[in-house]
């Protein structure tokens, strides 16, 4: 039994799977358990399509939180579907990192057999030749228990020359090789002899047989080929297939914020690969404590160590110095959901700007460069945007993820939506 996802691939479904395409918020709040049981019983007698019920996406349980990707669009539960609106700024139209013009995201998901729960996620700042037309970038290390590749050159030169790759801990070098192959194969790069692939990782070894190292360079190429703008698939996809966070199944999440016109109208978008621990807090409500599932709660399975990779994109004309300042603020979003960077957590932020005003064209002649950059005094609203978008991206990585069973029969449950809603209502985070 296998499940492979190439970005936004059209999947065939059977009527049993189709039951979960009902609007999830209405499903959770208004359809009684009796009706649900009746509908499911009816669906089991309908003829199956090309795929059987056993091949449901991500091996998810048949429950309201189950997500199916249909015709290239993911019907995923997100924070705002549940009435959760973190922060004060307005999201972009997609509420995703791809709200930043030009940014593309691609996934290659390996959800196969009993033990493989992993994948690759790539982020491209623009659709051109990134090696020749580089973007300013910066990295920030919140806690350095990780194996990130390519960070020191970004710190030194302040620029990004390849797609950003995310994967599992033991596949990071393979992904770096795949990105390098991609860059060397592009027209105009025939004489290139040095490439700095930028790759981050988290350890998905609890649900995934990480020692098998099933990721191959062609999986990276497929993720890059699948990359596009538009809605971002979240949850159990790509590099988030086998991850978990804050006591529940987690994965990929994304969000964005748009500044008011009188503050520049710039967009900040964030994508996260969540795999860290803490005490889950949702818009100020102590959800992890109320559920009794958090660090030091005694619940099993729970591991406070892990990692998170945060990618921040903006169209604001920021140089590498102010991008590093932006990256530092994104780290505050982890604290807002209850993370605290434990000893064994590798917590990294990568930030870049897509603005044409700060691009670094390596083909231009001369020794001097002239760029228009935002003043220090104009960066404050961008800092707030990074915090809010990171917070919501992490929440989306939880809500979009479904219960998963993986290596050695281990199961990681998704967050219990109905119980969580009751808690949020008690703390006046959402309306009854």
Question: What pLDDT, in 10s, does the model give residues 300-330?
Answer: 455 557 799 999 999 999 999 999 999 999 9
- pLDDT tens, position by position, 120-147: 999 999 999 999 999 999 999 999 899 9
How distant is the alpha carbon of residue 48 from its chain centre? 32
Mean pLDDT of 56-63: 34
What tokens were used for 265? 């109208």
Is 23 assigned a catalytic role? no
Catalytic residue, from 74, 256, 307, 407: name it.
307
Tell me which residue of 66, 79, 58 sits closest to 21, measured CA to CA: 66
Whether 307 sits among the annotated catalytic residues: the reply is: yes
Beta bridge partners of 308: 274, 347
What pLDDT shows up at residue 295?
Answer: 65
The residue among 256, 179, 4, 204 whose CA lies nearest residue 107 is 4
pLDDT number for residue 344: 83
Q: For 3, phi and psi rounded to 5 degrees?
A: -140, 120
Model-level pTM? 0.83
Strands 198-202 and 133-144: unpaired
pLDDT at 220: 98
CB 276 within 8 A of CB 296: no
The token pair at 389 is: 């978008």
3-state secondary structure the chain: CEEEEECCCCCCCCHHHHHHHCCHHHHHHHCCHHHHHHHHHHHCCCCCCCCCHHHCHHHCCCCCCCCCEECCEECCCCHHHHCCCCCCCECCCCCCHHHCCCCEEEEEEEEECCCEEEEEEEEECCCCCCCCEEEEEEEEEEEECCCCECHHHHHHHCEECCCEEEEEHHHHHHHHHHHHHHHHHCCCCCCCCCCCCEEEEECCCCCCCHHHCCCCHHHHHHHHHHCECCCCCCECCHHHCCCEECCEECCEEEEEEECCHHHCCCEEEEEEEEECCECCCECCECHHHHHCCCCCCCCCCCCCCEEEEEEEEECCCCCHHHHHHHHHHHCHHHHHCCECCCCCEEEEEEEEECCHHHCEECCCCCCCCCCCCCCHHHCHHHHHHHHHHHHHHHHHHHHCCCCEECHHHCEECCCCHHHHHHHHHHCCCCCC
Q: What percent of the chain has pLDDT over 70?
A: 80
Nearest to 151 by CA among 202, 217, 196: 196
Strand duo 360-361 + 133-144: pairing? antiparallel
- Give the model confidence (pLDDT) of 178-197 as tens digits: 999 999 999 999 999 999 99
Q: What is the number of other CB atoms lying within 10 angstroms of the CB of residue 364? A: 8
Give dist(CA 181, CA 117) in Å, integer: 25
User: Look-up: residue for tokens 């996934």?
Assistant: 107
Return the closest-CA partner of residue 160 out of 189, 125, 210: 125
Does residue 342 have a cis bond before it (omega within 30 degrees)?
A: no
- From the list 204, 283, 347, 402, the catalytic residue is 347
Cβ atoms 107, 5 nearer than 8 A: yes
Contacting residues for 77 by C-beta, under 8 A, at least 6 apart: 24, 25, 65, 67, 399, 400, 417
- The predicted-structure confidence for 234-247, as pLDDT tens digits, reads as follows 999 999 999 999 99
For the question of residue 367 being annotated catalytic, the response is: no
Sketch the domain layout of the chain as residue ranges. 2-7+82-426
66 has a pLDDT exceeding 50 = no
- Start-to-end C-alpha separation, the chain: 41
Tell me, what's the pLDDT at 2? 43
Encode pLDDT of 190-238 as tens digits: 999 999 999 999 999 999 999 999 999 999 999 999 999 999 999 999 9
Residues 179 and 160: their CA atoms lie apart, in Å, by: 13
Question: What's the pLDDT tens digit per position in 86-116?
Answer: 999 999 999 999 999 999 999 999 999 999 9
Q: Which residues pair with 350 in a beta bridge?
A: 139, 311
112 phi/psi in degrees, rounded to 5: -130, 140
Which residue of the set 274, 320, 342, 345 is catalytic? 345
8 A C-beta contact, residue 140 and residue 349: yes
| Angle, helices 380-399/320-330, rounded to nearest 10 degrees | 50
Q: Tokens 């994965």 label which residue? A: 251
Alpha-carbon distance of 62 to 116, in angstroms, equals 21
CATH of 2-7+82-426, one of 2.60.40.420, 3.40.190.10, 3.60.70.12, 3.40.50.300: 3.60.70.12
């Amino acid at each position: 039994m296998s499940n492979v996802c190439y970005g936004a691939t059209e999947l065939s479904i059977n009527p049993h799977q189709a039951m979960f395409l009902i609007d999830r918020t209405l499903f959770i709040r208004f359809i009684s358990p009796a009706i649900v049981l009746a509908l499911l019983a009816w669906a089991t007698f309908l003829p199956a399509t090309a795929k059987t019920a056993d091949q449901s996406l991500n091996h998810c349980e048949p429950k309201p939180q189950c997500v199916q990707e249909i015709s290239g669009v993911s019907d995923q539960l997100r924070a705002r579907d549940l009435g959760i609106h973190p922060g004060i700024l307005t999201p972009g139209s997609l509420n995703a990192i791809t709200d930043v013009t030009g940014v593309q995201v691609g996934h290659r998901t390996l959800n196969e057999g009993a033990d493989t729960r992993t994948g690759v996620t790539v982020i491209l700042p623009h659709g051109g030749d990134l090696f020749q037309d580089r973007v300013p970038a910066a990295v920030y290390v919140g806690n350095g228990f990780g194996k990130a590749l390519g960070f020191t050159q970004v710190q030194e030169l302040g620029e990004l020359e390849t797609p950003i790759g995310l994967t599992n801990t033991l596949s990071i070098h393979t992904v770096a090789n795949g990105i390098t192959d991609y860059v060397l194969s592009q027209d105009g790069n025939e004489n290139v002899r040095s490439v700095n692939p930028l790759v981050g990782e988290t350890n998905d070894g609890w649900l995934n047989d990480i020692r098998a190292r099933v990721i191959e360079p062609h999986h990276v190429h497929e993720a890059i080929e699948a990359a596009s703008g538009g809605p971002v698939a979240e949850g159990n996809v790509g590099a988030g297939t086998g991850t978990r966070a804050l006591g529940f199944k987690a994965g990929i999440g994304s969000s964005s914020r748009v500044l008011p016109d009188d503050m520049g109208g710039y967009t900040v978008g964030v994508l996260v690969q969540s795999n860290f621990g803490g005490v889950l807090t949702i818009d100020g409500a102590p959800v992890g404590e109320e559920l009794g599932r958090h660090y030091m709660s005694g619940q099993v399975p729970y591991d406070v160590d892990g990692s998170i990779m945060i990618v921040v994109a903006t169209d604001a004309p920021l140089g590498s110095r102010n991008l590093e300042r932006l990256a530092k603020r994104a780290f505050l979003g982890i604290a807002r959901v209850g993370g605290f960077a434990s000893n064994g957590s590798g917590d990294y932020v990568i930030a870049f700007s897509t603005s044409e005003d700060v691009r670094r064209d390596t083909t231009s002649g001369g020794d001097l460069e002239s760029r228009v950059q935002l003043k220090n005094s104009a960066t404050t609203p961008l800092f707030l945007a990074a915090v809010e978008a990171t917070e919501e991206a992490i929440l989306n990585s939880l809500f979009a993820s479904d219960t998963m069973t993986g290596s050695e029969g281990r199961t990681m449950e998704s967050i219990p939506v109905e119980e969580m809603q009751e808690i949020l209502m008690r703390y006046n985070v959402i309306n009854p």
